[in-house]
Amino acid sequence: MLSAVGQIPDCFPAQPGDFTKRAFYAGKMDLTAVEGLADLLSAETEAQRKQALLQMEGHLGKLYNEWAQTLVKCMAHVEAYIDFSEDDNIEDGVLESVEKKLKVLAEEMKSHMSDERRGEILRSGVQVSIVGEPNVGKSSLLNTLAQRPAAIVTSQAGTTRDLVRVSMDLGGFPVQLCDTAGLREASDEVEKEGIHRAKAAAAKADLVLLVASAPLLPKVPLEQALQNYLKTCGLSINLKDCIVVLNKSDLIPDKIQELPENVILTSCESGEGISQLLSVLQNRLTSLCGDPSRECPTITQARHRTYLETCLEYLHEYQRSLEAEQDLVIAAEQLRQALRHLGMLTGKVSTEQLLDLVFSEFCIGK
Ligand code: GDP
């Protein structure tokens, strides 16, 4: 059938993304919805699917469009002021009311952006690095969590040298678990490079699982022992941001009592503490990725953040121009630029039609 259809002039097979492209050009989908659809197709976990679906349904685009509409109205008012104020034919307080609206808009944008990159982390997967001294059970932990022997486990120190990565779905959240070389003073060149990579992986990770051997922990207050452990490992990370795994609990006769919320006693041998570790991990993942909703659509790509930051910068620039009593015509250009960058988010760069629309509704002359 396809070959028969192919004989008809002007008929050709659809290219990848052709239907979506047409939907975009026909105005049925905006750019964020298109991105949402692409994310939905490549989503691997439930939380990713939920976020992508919300974006595809247009919730993020709707928010940006509302902001664009507000900006268009503000611009129309400013331009009207430029054109008509001298004839005193325009209502009072136009510029002041624009200023108020822009302040509210800037606040909304700022709070939308102060999201600790939750949407982006959820979209690309949470990077979790397992770090600690050699032989404490890092590879065993990776294998236990991944439920398969992904990394080699031996009693010989310094087995893991390169990073061993495993992708997994933890309670609906995408996780990239990374086993690293044991941290110690090494003389071997290969091991040195492994340690360098391990430290870099810890610094870059969204979450660090710091593994220590419970039986080797010195008998000093826990906080102090762990701070010393971080130093011995040569890690400059905050203890509070890590989940600390005190492994090999099967080898200590007396269980440590009253551990802080982020410190878990586990045994990869007996399985003790693993379910508790999973539930603490799940809580951290929930706060790292957030819970995308219709009411609070999240930024999911660096592209969104870049345009929003530029837009906000132009809004501030407008404010600064007014304060410096610059020509309003020049200040208004800052607003136009702000709108242009918002438009790039949704793919609607042309604003002339919208301006016409608002102008036609605008009350000029009393
Ligand atoms: P890594 O070097 O930190 O990655 O540690 P490995 O996972 O390779 O484990 C080092 C050794 O400790 C191996 O012989 C493991 O079998 C052993 N091991 C790991 N976890 C436990 C545990 O919870 N209890 C006991 N008794 N041994 C463990």
| pLDDT tens digits for range 157-200 | 887 888 999 999 998 999 999 999 999 988 889 999 999 999 99
Instruction: Reduce the DSSP state of residue 217 to 3 states and report it.
Output: coil
Cα–Cα distance measured from residue 56 to residue 37, given in angstroms and rounded to the nearest whole number? 5
Question: What spacing in Å lies between the alpha carbon of 340 and ligand 1's midpoint?
Answer: 57
Cα–Cα distance measured from residue 98 to residue 77, given in angstroms and rounded to the nearest whole number? 7
Q: Which residues, including other chains, have CB under 8 Å from residue 185's CB and lie 6 or more apart?
A: none
Lookup: tokens for 125: 């997967």
**Residue range 206-235, pLDDT digits in tens:** 999 999 999 998 888 899 999 999 999 999
The strand pair at 126-132 and 164-170 is best described as unpaired
* Mutational pocket test of ligand 1: of 144, 153, 267, the residue with most ligand atoms within 8 Å of the beta carbon: 153
Counting atoms of ligand 1 from 1, which one is nearest the CA of 157?
Answer: 2
**Residue range 293-327, pLDDT digits in tens:** 888 889 999 999 999 999 999 999 999 998 988 88
Question: What spacing in Å lies between the alpha carbon of 239 and ligand 1's midpoint?
Answer: 23
Cα–Cα distance measured from residue 107 to residue 267, given in angstroms and rounded to the nearest whole number? 48
- β-strand partners of 213: 247
Which residues in 251-287 are b (16+ Cβ under 10 Å) and which e? ebeeeeeeeeebbbbbbbeeebbbeebeebbeebbee
Q: Give the pTM.
A: 0.82
- Indicate whether residue 154 lines ligand 1 (CB < 6 A): yes
Counting atoms of ligand 1 from 1, which one is nearest the CA of 152?
Answer: 8
Cα–Cα distance measured from residue 22 to residue 41, given in angstroms and rounded to the nearest whole number? 18
- Indicate whether residue 300 lines ligand 1 (CB < 6 A): no
pLDDT band, very low/low/confident/very high, at 365 (cuts 50, 70, 90) = very low
